[in-house]
Structure formats: structure tokens, C-alpha cells
Structure 1
Amino acid sequence: MTETRIEASSPQAGGLKRTFGMREAVTITAGSVIGVGLFTTGSNVVGTLGPAVILATLLALAVSIYPALLYAEMGAALPYAGGTYQFASLGLGRAAGMLAGWNFIISLVAVTGGEALAFSYYFRTLFLAFGYDLPISDVVLASIVTAGFIVANVFGVKLTGKLQNGFMFFFWGVAFIWFLTMIPNVHLPSFVRAPEFLHATTPLGFFSATCMIWWCFAGFEACVAMGEEIKYPHINVPRAMFLAPFVVFAVNALFQWYLVGITPPDQIASLADAEAPFAQAMKAAGILGFPLALLAAGIAFGGDFSTLNASISTPPRYLFTMARDGSMPKVFAITSKKYQTPYVAVIVLGVLSVALIATNSLEYIASLSLFADLFYYVLGIIAALALRKKHPELKRSYKAPWIKVGAPVSAVIYVLMMTQLDANAFITGVLWCVLGIAIYLVCRWKYGKAGEFTLDLAASGADDVPPPEEKRAMDREYLIWKVIVSASCVIAVVLYIFPFFVK
């Protein structure tokens, strides 16, 4: 494989091509989110809250919307690979940027590990639906599928984008069919009569459950990490950020509604500890054979594959950018001349994902990812405010409203959410930060400021303007997305209210 080393500071020096449009920006973002959280730990919350899960999901959406607006502003004005790393570096200083990027990396590496394990659970269920138990462990199966996606991501962004679109539309197609087939199995009184265990839920318990639901939203800004590969970023990045949290909400709320509805009332509490909650619910309800296989196939090859693809492709762009700037070892800035991908970073982070898979603990992986998510979001939110002051010259095609209030409030909320994390994962997160700082200090000593990123607005692509015909096509596509996503969100909420009007 022919390679080239990155020494220059231009944001386009790495040879990354602007290949993705708004559709890919949305599917990569949604694909980074819709998967392991929804179908494992996020669904476990149904076993804790029952039908009240919709309240936690709405709250998780509420605390995601404003940060998404901040990322819409920053991603459009600074469309570089690295996302939060670049924003925090320019707004708060290189050390803060390094910590933001470093935590983003471990967050999605953990998501990769968790997603691969989730895939193995539902892939196994696909065979169990027809009475066959696969003679292979979850860890081995998860490691094999991760290796496959590592190879796919080495071979280029075009392949990655096509795969992502395919996985997401396959998932939505299967989900639609499954929704229709499950309607006769939904028990509407389950939404009206709250389970007995719900009365024992404390406000702190509800807040903790909301934090786990929020993990299903973490990653709503994933496409900004690939800013150098998105066409017309000043248009497509904000649009993707406006849509992404609501896409995630609609999918989560709809699947949670069905999970509550099909689970026998006396079995709902058991979902709190289930490895594959949807599969367990269907088995408890006696829904086996083709419906169970359909669900397992949709989750495994749609939801899980879309997240694996996105979570393996996105973190290397951070590591690549950090290495290009001299904040990480330069070896991670090596790209393939033929495929124009940061293949060294892809492979190394893939190996780290396999190491997390070996723990075979979704709870630990989820908590570690949640710590990293909250940490880098806090830095990103504060960076948005700092960038307004330090770089007023940036051309902002979109500006988030009320930033002096919205940014501090959002940061405080996310800090409070960090208090609900598993102690072992919290300690691992702190140690990861210490390791990152140590590597950063060594690299700064070795490289100094040589090759450090410099703000180059002319080369950023922020001013690229589509031809009129292409712009009209982009506007039509965005309108279609808005209508579909809005309708889906309304339908999801109405479904939870509807049972109260049925006698």
C-alpha cells in the first residue's frame, strides 16, 4: 500500500475528499447513535420505568437539542476533520482540544466494542428463532465482524458512505415491516396502568435512567468529525445537526413503545437485566419464528452494522487530525495514497475496540463511553462560547441563539450527568485522560509547533457554493427529510397518548 506522510498544516493536506452530502451526514450521524444504546442499555430502562420511558426520552432529546445547534454553528464555520478537537483547540487552547479529541476517540471506540457485542447477541437470536444455537462465543463473533469493518474503512470513504446508506435504509425498511407485524401484539393497557415497580422509582433513579437514555443520543454531532469530507459544509452540516437529534428520538421512542406494548406486564421488570431486551420480550410474549428473525436481522444488519461502520470510520479522523497537528504521534497521520484514508489510525483504534470487546461487559463499556461523551461535550459546548469571542471573523452560516445562556446551562447539565456513572468506568476515563496528556506532552516536546494546524478559511471549504440546480435539489431533499422526521416524532408521541383514549 502506497503511503504519504502529512507534514503541512493546510486542512486539506491529508488528501481527504469532499464526498458526502447531507444524506450521508445524517446517516453517518444517526448510524453512530442508533444501535447499541437503543437495543441494549437504553431498552433496559424500560424494565425500570415502563411506559414512563417516553418522559426520559423526551428529556434526553431536550438536553441534546441546544448542543446540536452549537455544533451546527461550529461545524459549518470550521469544516475540518477532527470536530470537537479543532473547536476546543481554537477556542480553549491545544491542551483542551487534545482532551476533547482524546475522549471522543475512546467514546466511539467503546461504542464499537459495545455495538459488536450487541450484534453478536442479536445475530445469535436470528438463529435461535429457528431453534439453532451458534457454536461460537459472543466475543469471537464480535471480534470477527469488527475486523471486517476495519478492512472496509481502510478501502475508502466512498465505500463507507455507500455501506452506511445501505445499512440505515435497510434498518428503517425492516423496522417499518416489523412495526406493522407487531401491531396485533401490542397490549394498550400496559401504557395506562403503570407497573408496580415504577412507584418505587426515586427522582435520582429517574435521572440516572435518563442518563442511560441520553447515551442513545450521544454522537448526534458525529458528522462534524468528517468535516473535510462533506460537500458544501456551510449548508449540509447545519441541516444534518438540525435533523439528527429528532431522527434519534423518533427511532428510540417508536421502538420503546413497541417494547412496552409487546412485553407481558409481569415480565417488564426482567428487561432491566436482559442482554437483548427486544429478543427477550418477544420470547416472553411467545412471538417466535419469522417475526423474531426479522427483528434480529434488522437490528444486527441494520442498526448494529450502521453504528459499527460509523463508529469505526469517525474516530480515526480525530486521531489523524491530532497527529497532523503534532498533538499525537505522526504515524497516525499516515494516509493511503490510493484510498486516501488514515489507515494506520483506523487499524490501531480497531485493535483497541477488540480489546474492549474482550471484557464482554456492556455495562462497563456503556459507562466508559458515557463518561467520555459527557467530558468532550462539555469542552465542545464551552468552546462554542469561546470561539464567538476569540474568532468573530469566522463566517457563520448559522448562529445558535442565546449562546451566553444556553451554553453554560448545557455544560452544567452534562457535568451533573457525569455524577451518575459507574465508578470503575469513571476511573478508567480519568486514567485515559492522564495517558492522553502524557502522550500529548511528549509529542509537544518532540514536534514543538512544527506542522501545527493553522486556520485557513480560504482552504476550509466553508465558502463553497453549489450550482443553482444542485442547490435546488439539496433544498428538495432537505424538505423531504424535515417532513418525514417531523411526522415520525409526532406519531411517536401520539402513540404513548393514544391508549388513554381507548376504552
Structure 2
Amino acid sequence: MTARDNVTSTTAPSATATDRPRLASQLVRRKSISSMVEDTQDASTGGLRRTFGVFQLTMISVGATLGTGILVILGEAVPIAGPAVWLAFILAGITALLSAVSYAEMAGMVPVSGSSYSYSYATLGEGVAWVCGWCLVLEYAVSVAAVAVGAADYVNETLRIFGMSLPPSLSAGPDGEGGVINLSALVVVLLATVLLMRGAKESGIVNTIIVFVKLGILIFFAIVAFTAFKAGNFAPMLPMGAAGVTAAASSVFFSYIGFDAASTAGEEAKNPKRDLPRAIILSMVIVTTMYVLVAVAAIGARQWQWFETSTAPLVQIVHELTQSNLAVFIFAVSAVLAILSVVITVLYGQSRILLTMSRDGMVPKVFGIVSPRTGTPLVGTLVTGVLVAITAALIPLGELANATSIGTLFAFCLVNIAVIYLRAKRPDLPRSFKVPFGPVIPILGSLACAFLMINLGGTTWVVFGLWMLVGFVVYLTYSRRHSRVGALSTSDYRASISR
């Protein structure tokens, strides 16, 4: 059997424990970029359909990102940073952009669905790839749950127009204040799951429509808020000092999670080497511009202390300034749709990452089964959607958002390192996009991610540590034993990475 057969065949027998390399050796085994690309064309695993151009890819990234921070996190970030919350969005945006250009370079070289997991596997080895993939599970699955949790406030705002509201027991998970289950979050995630199971093209069309809807409502909000703009609301600019801005930046970095969603669509892009880098950069420009615009408009319309008691600040500002129930109804419904868009695209990315990991033997094969009818990983999408729906229904927003941020920052840091590694080790590889200024930008990106991680609270670090511990156990008990790269003999492994 050839090295290629060993790596990609889903029917190849598992090697015994004695056949496998020692743990230290297996952790540094890499997977060649050529074999990753060939895996996407392997009929035995089922192929995804290439239906996305640069426009659709940009809509995936914008859909996964735009709206989350403004609609859900803004009310929690303002009390931390004060009027300078817009600076926190810029700081987080710069950090994300430094990593975004690294993602763009790697996406052009490794046009597969694994995102930073695949990039790490090609450069830093199986051990780091597993850690990165495990972080991505935290990033995507938990961020979907976190965003969905925020839907309850906007659902209630919509119902209040008709003099109704969800009872406390159905508005939040167990929180000691009467909450039992977040019904809105549960429904939003299950609805997104059903749409994704119908097919990537269909869910992509729905997402594109919703992206334009939420761009419209955010521009509408900015116009309304600027009618009541008061420059005095920005004084003092830094009531919490610079430390407040950096702490808020660490928190609102959650708002930029999802720009890398386009990189999970590598197998469904018509021209991934050309279009993925363009989509990633373009989506970052759109998202950052909208975040800063809306944050400035919101602070201009209301003093920063007002946000401490607000549950759905944007829709409340619209209601107070327009005194129109119709405007509030349209805005609140559009906000729920915006949250649904984020859930659809991030859940899409999660299922594609698990698909890629299953091909490598890192997770069970069920996540890699592609439906011949819909061209989607049907079972993996369903399993992921149900688990995320349960999480969203039972866990509060704050804990979810912080846990997501730290996992994402760690994964972004690894992508920057991967760019540096390949520049040094494989300068000959064709690159459809190159990060400017050599290794300077990736180094700054890594440092910026590390800086924001340090500013996250101790509880978040404990949660992250426990998540990594669970990941370590899963790797030793399952992934190490089922890894296809780990099953290769020494000679076959050397042949596989020499291509």
C-alpha cells in the first residue's frame, strides 16, 4: 500500500499500538499540502460541491461576524471601557486584521476546509494541529451558542410590541433568577441546523439575504442615533483608563470571531486560491467599519452609564428616539435574523472543520459522511447542531463569550506562527497572497493575540485549561490511535511529506 493509500483510505486497517511511532514522534508528524488537497477529491469520503465565488465567500465571513458584537456584546463592553468602547473595537479589529492577513496567505496555499487546523497540520505537526482543532471546536460551537443566547432579548423586544413577553423560565438558562431554558436560543440553533442540512448553496442564499438585511438595520440605527448625537457623551473618554479599553478589547474580540469562516469553505469555493484571500480581507474591512460606526453612534446617543442596565441597547435606543412601535418591531425582527445569520455561518464552519478532522482520524468518521443528495456532512451537521442547541439553551452568555475568545485567540496565534514557519521552510510554495512586510506582521499578530489572552479573567483561563485537559485525554484515547498519519510507517511517512 502506498503512502497516499495509508493517509486517505477510510477502509485501511488501524495500526496496532506497537506499529505506531512514539508519542513524541507522532506529535510532530506533518501532513503534506498535496495530500490534503487530494483528500478533498477522494471519492471514498465524498466530495463537497464547489458553488461559491468571492461574493458568496465574503458573505459567509460577514454573516459569521457582523452583528454579534454590536447586537449582543456592546451592552456588556461599554461599562468596561466607557465612551472609548469604539477604541476597544478598533484595537480588537487591528488584532483580528493582523491574523486575517495570515489566514489569507494560508488559505491561498492550503485550499481545504480545515481552516487553521489544516494549516497547523501542514506546518507544526499533529500535536499542534490537534490543539488548534480542539480550540476551533471551542471557538465555533461555543460562539454559536453564545450568539444564540443573545437572541432572547430581541425576541422579547419583538413580543413587547404586542404586549407579550416570554416568561423568565423560558428566557434564560439556569441562572438562579427563575431561568430554566433559553427557548429562543434553542429554536434559532435548530432552525439554522435544518437550513444547513438542506445544502450549502441554499443556506448560502439565505445567509446572503440576511447579511444585507442586517447591514441595512445597522445603517438605519446609525442614522437614527446620530439625530440625537451629543459630543458631551464622550467626556471623559477614558473613565476606566487604558486598562478598561484593553479589557474591553479582549471581550469584544468575540465580535470578530467568524471572519475566518470563509477559510472553512475551501472545498466549496470555485477558485479557492484566488477568492479566499480576497473574501477574508474584504469581510474584515466591512465588519470593522460597521462596528466602529455603530459604537460611535450609540455612545453619541446615550451616556455610557445608561448601557449598564440595558439588555438590548440598540433596539431600546431606536424605540426611545423614534417612539415608533413599527420601527422597533422591524429592528427587533431584523436583529433576530442577524443572529440567525451568524449561527448559520459559524455552524457551517464547525461542521466543515469536523469533516476535515474526521478524514485524518482525529474525530469519529460519522462527522465525515457527506450526503450524496445535499452534498453536505449531514450527520455531522445534525450532531453538532443538537449539541450546540442544548448548550445555548442552558448556559449564560458571559461565560460562553469569554471561553470562545480565548480559544479563538490561541488558534489565531498558531496561524501566524504557521505563516512564519512556511516562509522559512517552504519559500518555494506558490502563494496567491503574501502577507506584506515579511514576518513582521505575523509576529505582531501572534503578540497581539497573546496580549489579549493575558487580559482575559482567571475564570476564563481555568475553563480553557480544563478544555485543553479534556482534549489531551481525547487525543490519547482516540485520536492518536486512529490518526492516519500516525499509522504510516517511517518510510511511507517520509515519502508522503516529500511530495
**TM above 0.5:** yes
The corresponding residue for 2:307 is: 271
Is 1:311 equivalent to 2:346 in the alignment?
A: yes
Is 1:188 equivalent to 2:230 in the alignment?
A: yes
Is 1:252 equivalent to 2:284 in the alignment?
A: no
The corresponding residue for 1:483 is: none
Partner Cα separation in structure 2 for residue 70 and residue 375 of structure 1: 14
- Aligned counterpart for 1:293 among listed residues 329, 340, 344: 329
1:191-270 aligned within 5 A: 191=233, 193-195=234-236, 200-263=239-302, 265=303, 268-270=304-306
Mapped contact 2:89–2:292 kept (Cα < 8 A): yes
Deviates more, 1:107-116 or 1:342-351: 342-351
Mapped contact 1:16–1:341 kept (Cα < 8 A): yes
The corresponding residue for 2:178 is: none
Counterpart code for 2:137: I
Mapped contact 2:193–2:381 kept (Cα < 8 A): yes
Cα shift at 1:415: 1.1
Partner Cα separation in structure 2 for residue 448 and residue 60 of structure 1: 38
Rate the CA distance shift 1:67–1:199 in 2: closer, same or farther, 3 A. closer
The corresponding residue for 2:429 is: 394
Cα shift at 1:416: 1.7
Q: Give CA deviations for 1:174-203 in whole Å, capped at 9, x if unaligned.
A: 33344444443x233345x515xx554132
Is 1:321 equivalent to 2:363 in the alignment?
A: no
Q: Give CA deviations for 1:315-340 in whole Å, capped at 9, x if unaligned.
A: 11111101101122222211212112
Cα shift at 1:230: 1.0
The corresponding residue for 2:385 is: 350
Mapped contact 1:10–1:454 kept (Cα < 8 A): no
The corresponding residue for 2:39 is: 10
1:39-118 aligned within 5 A: 39-118=71-150
Q: Give CA deviations for 1:456-477 in whole Å, capped at 9, x if unaligned.
A: 99xxxxxxxxxxxxxxxxxxxx
Q: Give CA deviations for 1:77-119 in whole Å, capped at 9, x if unaligned.
A: 1110111011001110011112112211211111111121212
Partner Cα separation in structure 1 for residue 160 and residue 290 of structure 2: 25
1:147-162 aligned within 5 A: 147-162=190-205
Q: Percent identity over the alignment?
A: 27
Deviates more, 1:312-321 or 1:42-51: 42-51
Instruction: Say what the alpha-carbon RMSD is for the aligned residues.
Output: 2.6
Is 1:137 equivalent to 2:176 in the alignment?
A: no
Cα shift at 1:26: 0.9
1:482-493 aligned within 5 A: none
Mapped contact 1:31–1:306 kept (Cα < 8 A): yes
Runs of 4+ in 1 over 6 A off after TM superposition: 450-457
Cα shift at 1:229: 0.7
The corresponding residue for 2:70 is: 38
Counterpart code for 1:194: A
Cα shift at 1:390: 3.2
Partner Cα separation in structure 2 for residue 7 and residue 245 of structure 1: 41
Deviates more, 1:44-53 or 1:389-398: 44-53
Deviates more, 1:447-456 or 1:146-155: 447-456
Rate the CA distance shift 1:289–1:382 in 2: closer, same or farther, 3 A. same
The corresponding residue for 1:173 is: 216
Rate the CA distance shift 1:360–1:254 in 2: closer, same or farther, 3 A. same
Cα shift at 1:156: 1.1
Partner Cα separation in structure 2 for residue 163 and residue 255 of structure 1: 24
- Aligned counterpart for 2:468 among listed residues 433, 454, 458: 433
Partner Cα separation in structure 2 for residue 447 and residue 203 of structure 1: 46
The corresponding residue for 1:476 is: none
TM normalised by structure 1 equals: 0.82
Mapped contact 1:178–1:294 kept (Cα < 8 A): no
Mapped contact 2:207–2:341 kept (Cα < 8 A): yes
Partner Cα separation in structure 1 for residue 204 and residue 383 of structure 2: 21
The corresponding residue for 1:449 is: 485
Cα shift at 1:451: 8.5
Q: Give CA deviations for 1:284-311 in whole Å, capped at 9, x if unaligned.
A: 668451222222122111x212101101
The corresponding residue for 2:398 is: 363
Matched residue SS, 1:221 = helix
Mapped contact 2:225–2:298 kept (Cα < 8 A): no
Partner Cα separation in structure 1 for residue 322 and residue 79 of structure 2: 18
Q: Give CA deviations for 1:116-168 in whole Å, capped at 9, x if unaligned.
A: 12122112211213432245713112102211111111121111211110110
Partner Cα separation in structure 1 for residue 243 and residue 494 of structure 2: 44
Counterpart code for 1:253: V
Rate the CA distance shift 1:63–1:199 in 2: closer, same or farther, 3 A. closer
Mapped contact 1:335–1:343 kept (Cα < 8 A): yes
Rate the CA distance shift 1:394–1:199 in 2: closer, same or farther, 3 A. closer
Consecutive unaligned residues of structure 1, counting only runs of 5 or more, are 458-503
Counterpart code for 1:20: F
Question: Number of aligned pairs?
Answer: 445
Mapped contact 2:224–2:318 kept (Cα < 8 A): no
Rate the CA distance shift 1:342–1:61 in 2: closer, same or farther, 3 A. same
Counterpart code for 1:395: P
Consecutive unaligned residues of structure 2, counting only runs of 5 or more, are 1-8, 13-37, 172-181
Partner Cα separation in structure 2 for residue 456 and residue 281 of structure 1: 63
Deviates more, 1:54-63 or 1:70-79: 54-63
Q: Give CA deviations for 1:440-463 in whole Å, capped at 9, x if unaligned.
A: 232222455378999999xxxxxx
Matched residue SS, 1:294 = helix
Partner Cα separation in structure 2 for residue 455 and residue 271 of structure 1: 58
Deviates more, 1:158-167 or 1:271-280: 271-280
Cα shift at 1:436: 2.2
Partner Cα separation in structure 1 for residue 294 and residue 270 of structure 2: 32
Partner Cα separation in structure 1 for residue 334 and residue 247 of structure 2: 29
